[in-house]
Structure 1
């Protein structure tokens, strides 16, 4: 009860951030189960579920837009939208350019997938999506990194023999391994980043405070863990 009361108090303080303000939230829309376009043509997934609940608790009107991953941070800085909720891990490098809320999910395990168990992960050719923590990990590992603009292209590169393996979030790769008998996990879990955060411009401190308070209230009453269980069942809880 004490935690719930603290969360409620924090939300009351954040309510000064203009009730019913419209916040444009950007996501990639191509990285299930974090974010994707559903059969109805709408954005869906864990990031969207969290973002909608955060906006509701912060008394903000949430409008979703999609943006390609490689330009998602520059377009936030340029003012094309107000936040990023796109399965984006909190890292020191990104934090130099934008600001982050507190984490709305613990670090999700990354993992390598290939078509053979005999893959040299330290000296082979490894695919990763451009601008991801996985790409940075490969670049530092000694392997040859091949970057692709979309996550689906990384899978295709493994399938057509262009690369030896791909590394990405386990939650993204698991359905491919389950549905394709040629694909297999070839590593243990690799823990990267500081969890998922909502990105905001460094100048938007009031908005960040309102979103932080909403996320904290979701942690305090268990709502956030329930969403993690639903969308990311293999991930750790708060």
Structure 2
């Protein structure tokens, strides 16, 4: 899933989460089907349904907050919300700044989409969302990277000729490719970068992390999480045994 490159300037706060009935759930609201804003102007998607169920099981009340991706970790650390639930893969780099719950989506691949197959990826111009490990992967590959603030802009860049292809989570790209009526196709092999997706929390909020870990474990054990994954991502999504 989406992978944020951390700025060295981000510092962890020592302020602990003061337990209350309401937990502010931070998400991007721009990465369907993980999270998006629906026609009623509300946070929707897999992570909205998941977060509400986790809060129910943890006997907490969710309050949803949206934040742009490139500042989502700094604003967690500074106390603007209490969790990140936004398609964020667990990485060693992030774990130096914040803590994570266990994963609620197993590791899954990124993929490359373009207007036609057979692109020479070594010399191509490839779009990715700013501040993601997909962007870092492209930069290190020798291809030319063009970065955009939102995932929708990366798709538009391919369609209007600014980029030859886009690299993003395959779960994000799959419905876009399927609904393009052949305009977009997958090209090249899938790309494995990053781990599973988990909730991000401040390092000082161990009690809250434990509550969500217990809730995630219960959803894995009773099959609810697998059902929810298939509902939002289809039967091809990796699930838990």
- Output the TM-score relative to the length of structure 2: 0.88
Aligned twin of 1:189: 190
**1:61-80 alignment runs, 5 A limit:** 61-80=61-80
For residues 93 and 74 of structure 2, the distance between their equivalents in structure 1, rounded to whole angstroms, comes to 14
For residues 227 and 136 of structure 1, the distance between their equivalents in structure 2, rounded to whole angstroms, comes to 31
For residues 26 and 18 of structure 1, the distance between their equivalents in structure 2, rounded to whole angstroms, comes to 17
Of Structure 1 and Structure 2, which has the larger fraction of its residues in helix? 1
Change (3 A) 1:119 1:86: same
- Output the TM-score relative to the length of structure 1: 0.89
Asked if 1 retains the 8 angstrom alpha-carbon contact of 2:130 and 2:149, the reply is yes
Asked if 1 retains the 8 angstrom alpha-carbon contact of 2:108 and 2:195, the reply is no
**1:23-62 alignment runs, 5 A limit:** 23-62=23-62
> 1:141: Cα distance to partner?
1.8
Aligned length: 222
**Which segment is superposed worse, 141-150 or 78-87?**
141-150
Aligned twin of 1:98: 98
Change (3 A) 1:172 1:226: same
Aligned twin of 2:179: 179
Work out whether 1:120 is the aligned partner of 2:101: no
For residues 120 and 77 of structure 2, the distance between their equivalents in structure 1, rounded to whole angstroms, comes to 38
Work out whether 1:84 is the aligned partner of 2:54: no
RMSD: 1.6
For residues 132 and 231 of structure 1, the distance between their equivalents in structure 2, rounded to whole angstroms, comes to 23
For residues 94 and 188 of structure 1, the distance between their equivalents in structure 2, rounded to whole angstroms, comes to 27
Aligned twin of 2:136: 136
- SS of alignment partner, residue 90 of structure 1: coil
- SS of alignment partner, residue 197 of structure 1: strand
Work out whether 1:231 is the aligned partner of 2:232: yes
Where in structure 2 are there 5+ consecutive unaligned residues?
1-16
1:97-154 deviation per Cα after TM superposition (whole angstroms, max 9, x unaligned): 1111000010222100011223122332111111223122212222122111100000
For residues 112 and 127 of structure 2, the distance between their equivalents in structure 1, rounded to whole angstroms, comes to 9
**Which segment is superposed worse, 122-131 or 98-107?**
122-131
**Which segment is superposed worse, 188-197 or 67-76?**
188-197
Asked if 2 retains the 8 angstrom alpha-carbon contact of 1:24 and 1:62, the reply is yes
For residues 42 and 195 of structure 1, the distance between their equivalents in structure 2, rounded to whole angstroms, comes to 26
